[in-house]
Structure 1
Amino acid sequence: MNLRFPLLILMACASLGAQSPVTRLVQSIPAETDLADPELPFAKDVWVEMIQGAKASIDAAEFYVTSRPGSALEPVLSELEKAGARGVKVRFLLSSKMLDQDPVSVARLRRIPGADVRAFDLTGVSKGILHAKYFVVDGREAFLGSQNFDWRALEHIHELGVRTTEPVIVSRLARLFTLDWAFVEGRKLPDFPPQPPMSARSQVELVASPPFLTPRDVRPSIEALVDLLEQAKQTVRVQLLTYSPISGQDHYWPRLDNALRAAAVRGVKVKLLVSDWVLGGRALPHLKALALIPNLEVKVASIPEAKEGHIPFSRTVHSKYLVVDEAHLALGTSNWEESYFTESRNIELIFRDSPLAAQATGIFERLWGSRYAFALDPAKVYERRKVD
């Protein structure tokens, strides 16, 4: 049993005992747009502040890392270097399939004094990847969201995350990191002290994928999302990069599709907002079919190119969240496609009866009603958006 995890929890309890937990939404907004919420902080600032405050440890699990000189990720990397130099233990998990995205930045992480950078590889277990994006500081606070460790995610992509000191979230993220670290080291997966399972009605809940690499007291993300959709009485708002009920070459995976349709049929007003990366893709006919259902609207968000010209894999909507009845929020790292829930490491946070849901509703409606969003026309032929 690794004793580091219980030590982190004790540290968290000691530091949080004198104050109430705080959870706050954190945004990233494409430059040259007017989509920023004036009440919310930006990830580029929050990440720097969190790393500056680190005293003992930073544990990060990220899809990949990529930067460029002068970008918003440079101060973040600089603060990680300073943290390592002052004795903070830095551990980084990166997806094995994405290490070649920016070898220079990966090497920079490896050079941080005392840092340990490992590749997370599910080959032989599934076809999945490490797609989660989070880090835990000193076992006392954490960040999780749609933002990759990518300069573009901080400057040119619409993203949403949370910074939190909520012990339930921080401790369970720390447990998942401990488990995944043991997995990449090839060690026996740790036996965690038993914790009472979270009920489907808990006000704060962490859910995760894939089920085969998740403790039994953590619900699978897909079950939690379907449960929220089935509970909806008035409104459902979903914002995603991509949505598809097609898995593999021709496999139909209707779990979320059926839940959205059922909600609309029983009179719930459903709004689905996806990025223009879906245009020309295999899921487009299914999205058009959804748009024909009464009470179900589908819009596409299209962010114009930056003034500097085309930036590959950017200028898009990458946020991944669900708001139900303006009271319940599920925010995480999964696009709504089967493999994200059955094969890859992803995490969602669920906040019930939370003011965060109202804030997320405002963010959604700001984009939904903006000049960047248009209704999907079932009769129109769309050209594929240039992505790379």
Structure 2
Amino acid sequence: MSQQKCIVIFALVCCFAILVALIFSAVDIMGEDEDGLSEKNCENNCRITLVENIPKGLNYSGSALFHLPLFQGWWNLLNMAKKSVDIVSSHWNLNSSSPLARQGRRLLEKLFQLAARDIEIKLVSDVLTADSKVLEDLKLKGAEVTYMNMTAYNRGRLQSSFWIIDKQHVYLGSASLDWRSLGQMKELGVIFYNCSCLVLDIQRIFALYSSLKYKTKVPQSWSKRLYGVYDNQKKLQLQLNGTKSEAFVSNSPKLFCPKNRSFDLDAIYSVIDDAQKFVYIAVTDYLPLISNVNTQRIYWPDLDGKIREALVLRSVKVRLLISFWRNTDPLTFNFVSSLKAICTEIPSCSLKVKFFDLEKESACLSKEQKDNSFPKLNRNKYVVTDREVYIGNFDWVGNDFTQNAGAGLVISQADAGNETSVIKQLKDVFERDWYSPYAQNLQLTKIPNCLSHRPITAAPDKTAAATPNVN
């Protein structure tokens, strides 16, 4: 009898412990987040600015508008840091001997200085960059480095690029911590100042990445502390430069989307579906295919089909600006031709495609010539409509969304035509590029022979493959 009582008591104690754990788990997510930050006390009256890297030598018209240089934006963020710097980047290559890497070396030195001042620095990268000397040097200075094994998790790689400074300021965009992003790459991103409500959400993506440290597989269920705070159904209400706005952060792959976190693909869908007049898309590569481990390819209709739907069923004007470079897949032109064909004899169907070419003279260079050249490349990755913008880390290639890790940001604004509206500003950026001499109407029959006859392979990484390794 005594033994049975002990068993009953033990069982009751275990049940009580489990109940307490569940209660605290619920309180944990519904109450305060790190550093006492919560939905009730976070700041949502924010300032926002676009940041761009425009490679030296690009000749726009004299009236062309430009935004804050990427280097200056990053430098300002690091100067504002008083407590913490959290950075996710796919590449860490700042300390090159190239004369074009001066700004990258300055950023690295600044990070060293912050570490020396005991400012907490946390960095996330792909395990493929584990041999990065920059990361090793920062670790020696006290930075905490987390490597994500995307190859093991999802046969992919990390492409996310965002910063969080002092739980107050955020950068998200196309550029990674690579000197080439500050030199020869045309990059675009956005910086939020004093926007801790947005930090409350994007910090959880950073925490999700950090939770994978030393793990070779993704957990079957995520901690509630990693659930999304805002998504497409529950958007963050905020003021951006005095304009009433809504925003939410999305994530990829779907494997990395806990409860209440929007998948990147769904975020883009929502932006295109809400468009009433136009959809402008800027990406480096457009290739609606998925390549598997056996190098076999299957059609990936998700975004390609969404464009067709907007064109034919809703008569939304679509403009597609794709980069043209030495690794452009020839099949891109076939898919573009197919998109154009759908508008045949449909008066209300308006689709135009241009290719943004910054390296005309080097598209057909030999390997030796390429090694001695520093080609320029447009790496912008965004969608802007008459109502919303999406800024992300991916090109419109199937494998990016199905396998790789990336983050995106959707912003809706009530007064999209306001000069301070980020929608108006990004629309102006697109039109500046669209009407520039670098945007061309290319056809499959007019592409350089060196591209039309080369073997068709999956497009490599746009930063690492576009320029030579000079380390």
**Alpha-carbon distance in 2 for matches of 1:28, 1:306:** 21
Residues 79-111 of structure 1 show CA distances to partners (whole Å, capped at 9, x for unaligned) of: 1111100011111111122445xx332333223
> Which residue number in structure 1 is paired with residue 125 of structure 2?
94
Select between 88-97 and 235-244 the one with higher mean Cα deviation. 88-97
1:43 aligns with 2:70: yes
1:34 aligns with 2:59: yes
**Alpha-carbon distance in 2 for matches of 1:173, 1:311:** 40
> Which residue number in structure 2 is paired with residue 318 of structure 1?
379
- Which residue type is aligned with residue 154 of structure 1? L
Q: Give the alignment partner of residue 104 of structure 1, picking from 105, 128, 133.
A: 133
Deviation of 1:316 after TM superposition, in Å, equals: 0.7
1:22 aligns with 2:47: yes
1:6 aligns with 2:33: yes
Residues 200-225 of structure 1 show CA distances to partners (whole Å, capped at 9, x for unaligned) of: 48311111111211221111010111
**Alpha-carbon distance in 1 for matches of 2:426, 2:440:** 20
CA RMSD in angstroms comes to 3.0
Q: Give the alignment partner of residue 334 of structure 2, picking from 277, 281, 285.
A: 285
In structure 2, relative to structure 1, the CA distance for the partners of 1:96 and 1:275 (3 Å cut) is: same
Q: How does 1:155-234 map to 2 (within 5 A)?
A: 155-165=183-193, 166-186=195-215, 189-192=222-225, 197-200=230-233, 202=235, 203-234=246-277
Residues 306-343 of structure 1 show CA distances to partners (whole Å, capped at 9, x for unaligned) of: 99986778511101000112x31000111112222222
> Which residue number in structure 1 is paired with residue 318 of structure 2?
270
Which blocks of at least 5 consecutive residues in structure 1 are unaligned?
Answer: none
**Alpha-carbon distance in 1 for matches of 2:301, 2:278:** 20
**TM-score (norm: length of structure 1):** 0.89
Q: How does 1:61-100 map to 2 (within 5 A)?
A: 61-67=88-94, 68-69=96-97, 70-100=101-131
Q: How does 1:344-363 map to 2 (within 5 A)?
A: 344-353=404-413, 354=416, 355-363=421-429
Which secondary structure does the structure 2 equivalent of 1:161 belong to?
strand
Which secondary structure does the structure 1 equivalent of 2:46 belong to?
coil
Q: Which has the larger radius of gyration?
A: 2
- Which residue type is aligned with residue 301 of structure 2? P
> Which residue number in structure 2 is paired with residue 298 of structure 1?
353
1:141 aligns with 2:169: yes
**Alpha-carbon distance in 2 for matches of 1:71, 1:49:** 17
What is the total number of aligned residue pairs between the two structures?
381
Asked whether the equivalents of residues 359 and 375 of structure 2 are also in contact (C-alpha less than 8 Å), the reply is no
**TM-score (norm: length of structure 2):** 0.74
Q: Give the alignment partner of residue 154 of structure 1, picking from 157, 164, 182.
A: 182
Deviation of 1:191 after TM superposition, in Å, equals: 2.7
Deviation of 1:119 after TM superposition, in Å, equals: 1.6
Which blocks of at least 5 consecutive residues in structure 2 are unaligned?
Answer: 1-24, 236-245, 344-349, 363-368, 452-464
Question: Quick one: percent identity of the two aligned structures?
Answer: 23
Q: Give the alignment partner of residue 247 of structure 1, picking from 269, 272, 290.
A: 290
Asked whether the equivalents of residues 146 and 161 of structure 1 are also in contact (C-alpha less than 8 Å), the reply is yes
Deviation of 1:194 after TM superposition, in Å, equals: 6.5
**Alpha-carbon distance in 1 for matches of 2:39, 2:93:** 30
In structure 2, relative to structure 1, the CA distance for the partners of 1:157 and 1:123 (3 Å cut) is: closer
Residues 103-126 of structure 1 show CA distances to partners (whole Å, capped at 9, x for unaligned) of: 3323332232x2112221123321
In structure 2, relative to structure 1, the CA distance for the partners of 1:12 and 1:364 (3 Å cut) is: same
**Alpha-carbon distance in 1 for matches of 2:40, 2:86:** 18
**Alpha-carbon distance in 2 for matches of 1:11, 1:54:** 21
- Which residue type is aligned with residue 411 of structure 2? F
Deviation of 1:9 after TM superposition, in Å, equals: 5.4
